[in-house]
Chains A and B, each alone.
Chain A
Amino acid sequence: MRLSQKTALVTGAARGLGRACALRFAEEGADLVLLDVAADIADVPYPLGTPDQLEATARLCRERGASVLTARADVRQQKEVDDVVADALDRFGRIDVLVNNAGIAAPSGKAVHEITEDEWGVMLDVDLSGAWRTIKAVVPSMAKQRSGSIVNISSTAGLVGYRYFAGYVAAKHGLIGLTRAAALDYAALQIRVNALCPGQVREEPTLEGRMLSEVARSLGVAPEDQETAFLESQPMNALVNPEDVSSAALWLASDDARQVTGSVVTVDGGFSTR
């Protein structure tokens, strides 16, 4: 059990990669604080996670032996995030791991000059500033513990450009920058901060993730076509599985990575090295 006696806070935990990480951590002995907005957001053109999905993640974690605290909060609101962290500390006494997974893939599908102020704003607010807010909220307690691991789920879009995804690409690049700076800020406090860059992740029905579908929809193609297009550009000729990402997150979260900070770990089948 690589996370026994540790508490992990996962944002965007209702479904998709957030759920994958939560379940994996639960299997490794962690207790979990599951945060999700669990509501739709204006300007985001697709349905986000729901309260039921969040509770489903919680139930799956409990079945794996974890104690779970679920919280509905919007990472665009510092107070909401702060309240969740305060509750988590009251409930569990400590937070050892933060996975900044909450993120949106759209509004996208436009060239840079076509993006509206609101579209640009919501994308950066959720995908970049959201991570900054949760880091702000958890770092004081991690500092007192002199330990902590923060895993920021960026993307290959944090490393290379994607046509018609300027907001997303900018936010994910920014998240890597935030990772590197935070790693330096907190190294002396034994708090590690790393970024994880998945490539295109396969959608697994049990995880109810929608990333690939939304990317496809933004580009006006069918999800199968998007998948095929990706496979062709993929050196290992396979999409990334959610557990490939959660395994990397687990490693970064655990003490196995005790000397790893400020690093950018790609799990993309070689996509970004081309």
Chain B
Amino acid sequence: MSPRISPPPPAGPGSAADLFTGTAFDARPARACHGLVRRMPEGLAAERIAERLTAAQRSGALPADLRLWVEDVAAAAADPAAEALRAREAARATGHGGRLRAVLLRYADGAADLVLVAHRRAVDSAGLDLVARVLAGAADGAERLAVPGDLPRHTAAEAAPPAWGLGDARRAGTTGTVRIGPVEIASEPAPVLLAATALLLSRYADRERAVGLLTVDRADRDRFAAVHLPVDDGTPVTDLVRQAEAALAAAAPVGADRPVPAVGVVALSGQDEAYRPFLELPFPVTFTWGPRPDGAFVGRLDYDGAALHPEVAEQLARHVGRLTALLGAKPADSFGDRAPVGADVELLADEERAALLALGRPQPAPARPATTVHAAFARLAAERPGATALSDAARELTYAQLDEAATRMSAALAERGAGPGTFVGVCLERDADLVTTLLAVLKTGAAYVPMDPRYPVERLRYTTEDAGLRLVVTALDGFPALDGVTVVHPDALAGSAAAAPEPADDPDAPAYVIYTSGSTGRPKGVVVPHRNVGALLAATAEDMRLGPDDVWTLFHSSSFDFSVWEIWGCLLTGGHLVVVPYWVSRSPEEFHALLVRRRVTVLSQTPSAFASLRDVHLGQERPLALRLVVFGGEPLDVRSLELWFRREPHDRCRLVNMFGITETTVHVTTATVTPVEVAAGSRSVGTALPGWSLSVRDARGRVQPLGVPGEIYVGGAGVADRYLNRPELTAERFVDDPLTGERAYRSGDLGRLRPGGQLDHLGRIDDQVKVRGFRIELGEVRSVLLDDPTVSAGAVVLNQGDGDAAGVRLDAYVVLRPSGSVAEVRRRLREVLPEHMVPGTVTAVSEIPLTVNGKVDAARLPKPDQPPAAEAAPAAAPAAEAAAPAQAQAPAEESLADVVLRAWRATLGPEVGPDDDFFDLGGNSLLAVRLSAALRRAGLQSVPLRDLYLQPTAARLAEHLAARQAAGAGAERP
């Protein structure tokens, strides 16, 4: 008998085949239920209670189908075993259409409890109370309990957990509790609680999130609703509660057809120990409030581990308590009538703010006397004169030789005007001369201004003029001639007979000026003093065990401050610096060969460059001597390291991710990356370097709570002096921080702080782009791109189209592995990303072009490929066909069915109709695979074979796919 894969039996109304159609499934029935436990009067026999039930049913007071279950408990009422049983009974949801359950627990000592559990929408809290009173004989007989015949279906969908919660999906299902209050609430509590929660969300940068609200009021009606109350910063405090009242009136019931809000409030009208407003958290983050006998409100926060980190939960409870107290009292008293919530409501207590600032400020490194770069080098040269300091393709210099050469050259430079307070341009290829020259400049007391000889002439001219250079060392014939600027060849400096100047030794003097372009405005020179370089090494040398046995590369252009780390990190710790010629740095194969040949131990790379190197390394056997790789210059997607770790264990070669900014001296944070971080997909860039400090601030400069995104402020030993000749910009970005009393640099980067003081880097603030009204993080899209196993490198850029807002789209560029295809990448993006985040085009390139600094060079990316028409997803409204983006939505509904049917016909024959059953048509597993491929070729999401079995007609499959796409797009809408 040949195996035949059978479809589920044809579905008829009410037939067992309905089981397979699948939408009737509710994973969390307990969420929709509440319960009441009431001790029955002493001596009241179960038989008597049953009689009361029958009588009440006869009179119509209680529904006819209510049964009383009697459970004999083999323990006394106060026995822990009985307690456990009672708790279990009271937490047991009604299921499968059950609306109300009554269980009488008869204990061994004669006591009895009535346990009532009901579906909230069938019987409210007043109803539960009524049932308990009727059965206990305490009702007057006039009240009736109406139970609806049909229950609206409870949706199992749940809104995405808040990003600021820093929850851990691996802790889903675990719960925690934090107590809140007491606080005074002078008016109607529900609107106050709602307003406080909405205000909280707005301050947590999550103002569009709906708030769940469950009110339990025996005098009135219970309510279980999702409320939309976005709070604007400008809203007067006194208006907020009124707005909440209005929003409450307009709220939609939870569970009808919208997801359960992730954050919600339960407002109880009284404290009743026996009443359980929910059997399972109604919301992943649930605030429950109720009045004490003295009228004050006490609250508790219950949360799911997937939604909140315990420390964020503690913080949240404090903040919601503070805001509730604020709004519960008469806000006008403390704020005046029109005070806006954004400016005047302080979320953090002083000690909380101090704790957050302390969290971003690790123990400083052991103090070392501040010194200059060249003095530190001279000391090393004196200690170990014969050790190799520097080599390039042609030469090798010992510490003594390098020191001597630089000293000679410094004399020649001094002759030409270099000295303390001056800036000397250095525009040299990457070779030993470059390093010698930089050291020579420092020895004169001047600061060096590196320029990459590959920069356009205009850029060289700009830098020279902007920095006011009088002296430039270059081997470049075409260096722009400028009035008053002496251009000198390094060879002309080697043979000076002049006496070297007495080395200036002012640690506060500028050591270098590096130009950064930034995303807006002209490039500006960042002036970094000697002291900062020393601090950088004090912060890292011990932790990274930098020392004389290390061999470093100088891989990066001297105009990129990563080179400051490479050069001085090596030469001030006694290592051997191997200068990588430019052409080698451009070829991952050549560079890999160099690393092998020179037995390099310490490597600094941008993640983009490392990705290519990794691929080369994984493709061959030759071993590397690397013991430390430092990532910098770009956000690191740790997932790109998974394959690397399979070859190079993390305990042999340590990988350190460092987030840094030129304005704060190369690095700010450090995070060692291990397979654990890779598995967790960590976005953390780690903690601040000792001596550095960081904090996350809102637009007003206020410290953001844990988890809440804001601008990264950096203070401490790395903060640069200034932007050269740009006092306004300097004043704007280098600020005196009133909260810490120190100078801080406002980075323009978006981050959030974790409970351990680790920083999550979330991209540039201006990296947030808007496409068709949706706010999108390019980094997030890129991250999904890199998740694709067939993609080895990727970039995402915003394409402004031709100025028409409808033409704005994202373009993705990918380097594919041999097995990959653009269509597959596109399909996967559509599967994972909400529609508005799916790049309009995906273009395969052989490599992602990098700037001279090793970062993605958007300007050199090719024109994007337009997707072939056949691959366009009809329902996904690809912006690439931007000709008619506005209409893309409407006809999509119709054409999806057509596309699906076309695929069916291509697979199963031209006669196939939309309602023909796949299996009746002779479909089998092979044809199912073919059909799935045909659907994929048509640009649709992947169709798991199981879906095909469960939706065996073209029409049903199309419906199913449409529903899935709608669900996917809806869930992520901000």
Task: Known A140-B16, A140-B19; judge A90-B101 contact (CB<8 A).
Answer: yes
A231 at the interface (CB under 8 A from B): no
For A141, what are the chain B residues with a Cβ–Cβ distance below 8 Å?
A: 95-96
Taking a contact as CB atoms closer than 8 A, the residue among A31, A59, A144, A185 that contacts B26 in the complex is A144
Task: Known A63-B74, A140-B16, A146-B25; judge A89-B96 contact (CB<8 A).
Answer: yes
Q: Which of A93-146 contact B (CB under 8 A)?
A: 93-94, 136, 139-141, 143-146
For A92, what are the chain B residues with a Cβ–Cβ distance below 8 Å?
A: 92
Q: How far is the CA of A13 from the CA of B19 in the complex (A)?
A: 28
Q: Could you tell me if B67 and A67 are in contact, using CB atoms closer than 8 angstroms?
A: no
A221 at the interface (CB under 8 A from B): no
Task: Known A144-B24, A144-B26; judge A93-B96 contact (CB<8 A).
Answer: yes
B29 at the interface (CB under 8 A from A): yes
What per-residue 1/0 map shows which CB atoms of B87-99 lie under 8 Å from chain A? 0110011111010
What per-residue 1/0 map shows which CB atoms of B831-848 lie under 8 Å from chain A? 000000000000000000
Q: How far is the CA of A92 from the CA of B19 in the complex (A)?
A: 21
For A160, what are the chain B residues with a Cβ–Cβ distance below 8 Å?
A: none
Q: Which of B1-56 contact A (CB under 8 A)?
A: 8, 16, 19-20, 24-27, 29
Q: Which of B52-88 contact A (CB under 8 A)?
A: 67, 69, 71-74, 81, 84-85, 88
Taking a contact as CB atoms closer than 8 A, the residue among A5, A65, A143, A189 that contacts B85 in the complex is A65
- Of B71, B81, B96, most buried by chain A (CB within 10 Å of CB) is B96
For A41, what are the chain B residues with a Cβ–Cβ distance below 8 Å?
A: none
B949 at the interface (CB under 8 A from A): yes
Q: Which of A145-190 contact B (CB under 8 A)?
A: 145-146, 185, 188-189
Q: How far is the CA of A270 from the CA of B81 in the complex (A)?
A: 40
Q: How far is the CA of A225 from the CA of B381 in the complex (A)?
A: 97
A62 at the interface (CB under 8 A from B): yes
Q: How far is the CA of A68 from the CA of B73 in the complex (A)?
A: 10
Task: Known A62-B72, A65-B81, A146-B27; judge A93-B98 contact (CB<8 A).
Answer: yes
For B26, what are the chain A residues with a Cβ–Cβ distance below 8 Å?
A: 144
Q: How far is the CB of B79 from chain A (nearest CB, A)?
A: 11
For B170, what are the chain A residues with a Cβ–Cβ distance below 8 Å?
A: none
Q: How far is the CA of A93 from the CA of B92 in the complex (A)?
A: 7
What per-residue 1/0 map shows which CB atoms of A18-40 lie under 8 Å from chain B? 00000000000001000000000
For B92, what are the chain A residues with a Cβ–Cβ distance below 8 Å?
A: 92-93
B946 at the interface (CB under 8 A from A): yes
Q: Could you tell me if A93 and B93 are in contact, using CB atoms closer than 8 angstroms?
A: yes
Q: Could you tell me if A5 and B101 are in contact, using CB atoms closer than 8 angstroms?
A: no
Q: How far is the CA of A225 from the CA of B207 in the complex (A)?
A: 80
B950 at the interface (CB under 8 A from A): yes
Q: Could you tell me if B96 and A94 are in contact, using CB atoms closer than 8 angstroms?
A: yes
Q: Could you tell me if B71 and A90 are in contact, using CB atoms closer than 8 angstroms?
A: no
For B73, what are the chain A residues with a Cβ–Cβ distance below 8 Å?
A: 62
A79 at the interface (CB under 8 A from B): no
Q: How far is the CA of A65 from the CA of B71 in the complex (A)?
A: 12
Q: Could you tell me if A91 and B85 are in contact, using CB atoms closer than 8 angstroms?
A: no
Q: Could you tell me if A89 and B950 are in contact, using CB atoms closer than 8 angstroms?
A: no
Q: Is the interface of A mostly helix, strand, loop or mixed?
A: helix
For B27, what are the chain A residues with a Cβ–Cβ distance below 8 Å?
A: 146
Q: How many A-B pairs with Cβ below 8 Å?
A: 66
Taking a contact as CB atoms closer than 8 A, the residue among A62, A93, A94, A144 that contacts B74 in the complex is A62
For A145, what are the chain B residues with a Cβ–Cβ distance below 8 Å?
A: 25, 95
For B95, what are the chain A residues with a Cβ–Cβ distance below 8 Å?
A: 89, 93-94, 141, 144-145
What per-residue 1/0 map shows which CB atoms of B851-892 lie under 8 Å from chain A? 000000000000000000000000000000000000000000
Q: How far is the CA of A146 from the CA of B19 in the complex (A)?
A: 10
Q: How far is the CA of A189 from the CA of B29 in the complex (A)?
A: 17
For A189, what are the chain B residues with a Cβ–Cβ distance below 8 Å?
A: 19-20
Q: How far is the CA of A63 from the CA of B73 in the complex (A)?
A: 8
Q: How far is the CA of A99 from the CA of B89 in the complex (A)?
A: 23
Q: How far is the CA of A194 from the CA of B949 in the complex (A)?
A: 23
Q: How far is the CB of B276 from chain A (nearest CB, A)?
A: 15
Q: How far is the CA of A63 from the CA of B82 in the complex (A)?
A: 11
Q: How far is the CA of A84 from the CA of B163 in the complex (A)?
A: 47
For B950, what are the chain A residues with a Cβ–Cβ distance below 8 Å?
A: 188
Q: How far is the CA of A124 from the CA of B877 in the complex (A)?
A: 60
Q: Could you tell me if A93 and B16 are in contact, using CB atoms closer than 8 angstroms?
A: no
Q: How far is the CA of A141 from the CA of B26 in the complex (A)?
A: 11
Q: Which residue of B lies closest to A90 (CB)?
A: B98
Q: Could you tell me if B88 and A139 are in contact, using CB atoms closer than 8 angstroms?
A: no
Q: How far is the CB of A71 from chain B (nearest CB, A)?
A: 13
For B88, what are the chain A residues with a Cβ–Cβ distance below 8 Å?
A: 5, 31, 67
Q: How far is the CA of A141 from the CA of B92 in the complex (A)?
A: 16
For B20, what are the chain A residues with a Cβ–Cβ distance below 8 Å?
A: 143, 188-189
For B71, what are the chain A residues with a Cβ–Cβ distance below 8 Å?
A: 67-68
Q: How far is the CA of A78 from the CA of B135 in the complex (A)?
A: 34
Q: How far is the CA of A92 from the CA of B73 in the complex (A)?
A: 16
Task: Known A188-B946, A188-B949; judge A93-B85 contact (CB<8 A).
Answer: no
Q: Which residue of A lies closest to B33 (CB)?
A: A93
Q: How far is the CB of B902 from chain A (nearest CB, A)?
A: 27
Q: Could you tell me if B69 and A91 are in contact, using CB atoms closer than 8 angstroms?
A: yes
Taking a contact as CB atoms closer than 8 A, the residue among A63, A93, A94 that contacts B101 in the complex is A93
Q: Could you tell me if A139 and B19 are in contact, using CB atoms closer than 8 angstroms?
A: yes
Q: Could you tell me if A65 and B84 are in contact, using CB atoms closer than 8 angstroms?
A: yes
Q: Which residue of B lies closest to A68 (CB)?
A: B71
- Of A62, A67, A141, A143, most buried by chain B (CB within 10 Å of CB) is A67
Q: How far is the CA of A9 from the CA of B819 in the complex (A)?
A: 51
Q: How far is the CA of A195 from the CA of B96 in the complex (A)?
A: 27
Q: How far is the CB of A18 from chain B (nearest CB, A)?
A: 20
Q: Could you tell me if A93 and B94 are in contact, using CB atoms closer than 8 angstroms?
A: yes
Q: Which residue of B lies closest to A93 (CB)?
A: B95
Q: Could you tell me if A139 and B16 are in contact, using CB atoms closer than 8 angstroms?
A: yes
What per-residue 1/0 map shows which CB atoms of A195-225 lie under 8 Å from chain B? 0000000000000000000000000000000
Q: Which residue of B lies closest to A187 (CB)?
A: B946
Q: How far is the CB of B825 from chain A (nearest CB, A)?
A: 29
Q: How far is the CB of A187 from chain B (nearest CB, A)?
A: 9
Q: How far is the CA of A251 from the CA of B456 in the complex (A)?
A: 72
For B72, what are the chain A residues with a Cβ–Cβ distance below 8 Å?
A: 62
Q: Which residue of A lies closest to B65 (CB)?
A: A90
What per-residue 1/0 map shows which CB atoms of B722-763 lie under 8 Å from chain A? 000000000000000000000000000000000000000000
Task: Known A5-B88, A67-B85; judge A144-B949 contact (CB<8 A).
Answer: no
Q: Could you tell me if A90 and B16 are in contact, using CB atoms closer than 8 angstroms?
A: no
- Of A69, A90, A94, A141, most buried by chain B (CB within 10 Å of CB) is A90
Q: How far is the CA of A130 from the CA of B692 in the complex (A)?
A: 74
What per-residue 1/0 map shows which CB atoms of B601-617 lie under 8 Å from chain A? 00000000000000000
Q: Which residue of A lies closest to B93 (CB)?
A: A93
Q: Which residue of B lies closest to A188 (CB)?
A: B946
Q: How far is the CB of A150 from chain B (nearest CB, A)?
A: 14
For A139, what are the chain B residues with a Cβ–Cβ distance below 8 Å?
A: 16, 19
Q: How far is the CA of A5 from the CA of B85 in the complex (A)?
A: 11
Q: How far is the CA of A140 from the CA of B95 in the complex (A)?
A: 12
What per-residue 1/0 map shows which CB atoms of A52-82 lie under 8 Å from chain B? 0000000100110101110000000000000
For A188, what are the chain B residues with a Cβ–Cβ distance below 8 Å?
A: 20, 946, 949-950
Task: Known A62-B72, A189-B19, A189-B20; judge A89-B84 contact (CB<8 A).
Answer: no
Q: How far is the CA of A69 from the CA of B67 in the complex (A)?
A: 14
For A94, what are the chain B residues with a Cβ–Cβ distance below 8 Å?
A: 29, 93, 95-96
Task: Known A67-B71, A67-B88; judge A89-B98 contact (CB<8 A).
Answer: yes
* A-B residue pairs, 5 tightest by C-beta: A93-B95, A143-B19, A62-B74, A94-B95, A89-B96
Contact surface of B with A, Cβ cutoff 8 Å: 8, 16, 19-20, 24-27, 29, 67, 69, 71-74, 81, 84-85, 88-89, 92-96, 98, 101, 103, 946, 949-950
Q: List 10 A-B contacts (CB under 8 A).
A: A5-B88, A59-B74, A67-B85, A93-B95, A93-B98, A140-B16, A144-B19, A144-B95, A146-B25, A189-B19
Known contacts A62-B73, A69-B69; 18 further A-B pairs (Cβ under 8 A) = A59-B74, A62-B72, A62-B74, A63-B74, A65-B81, A68-B71, A89-B95, A90-B69, A91-B69, A94-B93, A94-B96, A136-B16, A139-B19, A140-B19, A144-B25, A144-B96, A146-B25, A188-B20
